[in-house]
């Protein structure tokens, strides 16, 4: 079912109605058109729709305006705003969140490393050092310090190291620390949150692809 007006195109899909807004006219014209359409009651009330703005980028206040018009005046919910375009700022933050940040150095006691995205350290993380990433942390060296992956809420992120003997591992909001007695570290391990127990567990690096098959898949990053 497709219904076309001057500036509005409505499509019924299995996921519900999507309203495509023309991206060449002015925003005021759009609002007016929307208003007219709603007055004529072409859309049944109390439904939820998706709004697709095509090649137009809406400000927050413009989104609020449309939401206000639909929601408050006609009690139509908006599931989401979609668009073919994003702002540079948003693109940069996506990029930032998705790229691997390499470091060729030893992270020493008292040093702190904070990054968006994944961190790849070629070197050791010494006791007393802290590494924090929004993504996963990979250490090609000895991990003896504190690593926080998935900061603040990436529960699917992991911490992997060639030699694992950390003082603390944190993933999202979970924390696991080394026991009070001396322990020998282990070679090639990774830490992850076990969904069933919601606790941090360690496993052999070979099992990483079994446990997190989509680790490097960007669509898994909730974008």
Partner 1 sequence: MGESIVITSGKGGVGKTTTTANIGTALALQDKKVCLIDTDIGLRNLDVILGLENRIIFDIVDVIEGQCKLQAALVKDKRFDCLHLLPAAQSSDKNEVTPEGIQSLVEQLKPDYDYILIDCPAGIEQGYKNAVAGADKAVVVTTPEKSSVRDADRIIGLLEQENLESTHLVINRIRKHMMDSGDMLAVDDIVSTLSIDLLGVIMDDEDVIRASHHGNPVAFQPDTKASIGYRNIARRILGESVPLMSFDEDKGFLLKMKKLLGMK
What is the contact surface with partner 1 in residues (CB under 8 A)?
Answer: 105-106, 108-111, 123-124, 126-128, 142, 144
CB of 163 to partner 1, least distance (A): 10
CB of 143 to partner 1, least distance (A): 12
Say if strands 130-133 and 112-115 run parallel, antiparallel, or are unpaired. parallel
CB of 123 to partner 1, least distance (A): 8
158/164 with CB nearer partner 1: 164
Rounded Cα gap, residues 34 and 30, in angstroms: 6
Tokens 């702190």 found at: 112
66/107 with CB nearer partner 1: 107
Name the residue among 179, 102, 169, 73 with its Cα closest to residue 130: 169
Read off the tokens for 189.
Answer: 């391990």
106/168 with CB nearer partner 1: 106
Identify whether the C-beta of residue 19 lies closer than 8 Å to the C-beta of residue 4.
Answer: no
Say if strands 159-164 and 186-194 run parallel, antiparallel, or are unpaired. antiparallel
CB of 108 to partner 1, least distance (A): 3
145/150 with CB nearer partner 1: 145
Q: Which residues contact 211 (CB under 8 A, 6 or more apart)?
A: 192, 203
105/206 with CB nearer partner 1: 105
CB of 47 to partner 1, least distance (A): 60
């Amino acid at each position: 079912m497709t219904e076309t007006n001057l500036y509005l195109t409505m499509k019924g899909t299995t996921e519900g109605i999507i309203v495509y807004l023309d991206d060449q006219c002015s925003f005021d014209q759009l609002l007016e058109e929307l208003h007219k359409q709603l007055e004529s009651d072409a859309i049944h009330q109390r439904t939820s729709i998706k709004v697709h703005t095509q090649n137009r980028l809406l400000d927050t206040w413009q989104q609020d305006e449309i939401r206000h018009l639909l929601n408050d005046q006609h009690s139509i919910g908006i599931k989401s705003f979609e668009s073919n375009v994003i702002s540079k700022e948003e693109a940069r933050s996506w990029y930032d969140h998705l790229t691997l940040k390499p470091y060729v150095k030893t992270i020493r006691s008292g040093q702190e490393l904070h990054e968006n995205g994944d961190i790849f350290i070629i070197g050791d993380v010494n006791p007393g050092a802290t590494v924090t990433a929004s993504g996963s942390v990979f250490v090609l060296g000895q991990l003896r310090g504190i690593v926080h992956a998935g900061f603040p809420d990436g529960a699917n992120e992991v911490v992997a190291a060639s030699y694992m003997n950390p003082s603390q591992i944190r993933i999202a909001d979970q924390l696991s620390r080394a026991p009070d007695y001396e322990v020998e570290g282990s070679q090639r391990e990774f830490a992850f949150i076990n969904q069933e127990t919601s606790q941090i567990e360690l496993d052999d690096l070979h099992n990483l692809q079994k446990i997190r098959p989509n680790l490097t898949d960007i669509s898994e990053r909730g974008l």
